[in-house]
Structure 1
Amino acid sequence: MNQQLSNFMSSNVQTVKDSQSVQEAAALMSEYNIGSLPVVNESGQMVGIITDRDITLRTTAQGENAQTPVSQVMTAQQIVHATPNMDAHQAAQLMAQQQIRRLPVVENGQIVGMVALGDLAVDNQLDNEAEEALSSISTPSAPQK
């Protein structure tokens, strides 16, 4: 079986523009029942990611307005991502190392997919990697500011 991420990722990925408000981002997350959105600029290049946790800690907890632009609360530096041809085992290890549950899949700067830990866990050959990743992800870390 081919173990490339392209075989595991969801390719119908919802995104949000960096100029949209956190309220719009939260509404998209609610509508699609997802916890993160890749952030793109006007030309469709991925420039960040915003999570429901980002909205809670960087907007609500800081007393920011719901109309705050996504660009002010997204994670923009050191965005962890994969490529469609990356090996799924490597992706699981990357997710464990970075303590993330969702991994954007990017090709030529454009978001082409998203893979979640659960996507990898359903494959029997990746069961152990997914379990190890979840264990690493669940290890407490210091909060980011």
Structure 2
Amino acid sequence: MRAATSARLVVGSACLVVPRRVLGAVGGPDRDDARVRGITRVLGVRLVLQAGLDLAAGRRTRDLDVVIELAHAASMLLAAVLWPPHRRAALASAAVATGIALLDVSQGRVGGDVGDLVPARRPTSPRHTTSAAACSNC
């Protein structure tokens, strides 16, 4: 299981099951707001469902996962500006989404496999088996 998938499961489950504690952990003054707790639960459902899709489809979801997390982070930055009372929770959510996106990227180049990060070895021909100084073709 990818680290990003594990993070989605852990954070999503916490948001779903104990949203008040999650909001309290980030110091959000809005942790007693029923609407904010509901939004936190919806975020938790999204994260858990996304983790389930990660598990079912594997690496094929990596590109979409990164796009979703970065779009969520951008929307939370906007929310932090537009709704100051919810700034702490929004900024924490943006930070977590960005961190999960970075986990996705760090586990292999987006759009490719981990093996794509290792440069391919250039094939050697028999004429290049000697040193470059001795090679008349170099």
**Scaled by the length of structure 1, what TM-score is found?**
0.34
Larger Rg: 2
Higher helix share: 2
The structure where strand makes up a greater share of residues is 1
Q: TM-score, normalised by structure 2?
A: 0.35
